Amino acid sequence: MAGFLIALLSGALMSVQGVFNAQVTKTTGIWVSNGWVQLSAFFLCLLVWLATGRDSVAALMEVQPRYMLLGGVIGAGITWTVIKSVDALGPARSALFIVVSQLAVAYLISLSGMFGMEKEPFSWRKLIGLLIAASGIVLFQWK
């Protein structure tokens, strides 16, 4: 149940963040906005790290494979793409496309076992669910 609630909170925070970032970009430009997002997130993480268990930063050098350390680079790309999509499509449409894309890519990762994830067997039920979600885009666009 906790995972479900955290996922709902994540989706809500992503939607609000996308709107905030798109609005900041109108005044500052996309890379200043993106940089601010990453920098402010870094400082929050630093404060929480100082207030909690202080896991070893040196442990980052033990992460294998090394490309797994690209999460921050991907995060900057996510911030940029969310800002651009919210600006172009509005918050509801962009969120719909983002969620369907996340679902499709996550399912492909699960099917293939990419990035060290446990490989799962193909399921028609999950594919049909993905197609229903994708068809929601068509219904949402219909005037």
Q: Which two tokens stand for residue 67?
A: 């490309």
Cα 43 from Cα 35, distance rounded (Å): 12
The conformation of residue 46, written as its DSSP 8-state character, comes to H
**Is there a single domain that holds both residue 24 and residue 68?**
yes
Range of the domain at 82: 1-88
Cα 26 from Cα 30, distance rounded (Å): 8
Domain boundary among 88, 107, 135: 88
What Cα–Cα distance (Å) separates residue 126 from each residue in 66, 118, 131?
A: 31, 16, 9
Cα 64 vs. chain centroid, distance in angstroms?
22
Question: Residue 138: pLDDT above 90?
Answer: no
Question: Residue 20: pLDDT above 80?
Answer: yes
- Average pLDDT over the chain, rounded to an integer: 94
Q: Give the pLDDT mean for 47-68.
A: 94
**Is there a single domain that holds both residue 5 and residue 28?**
yes
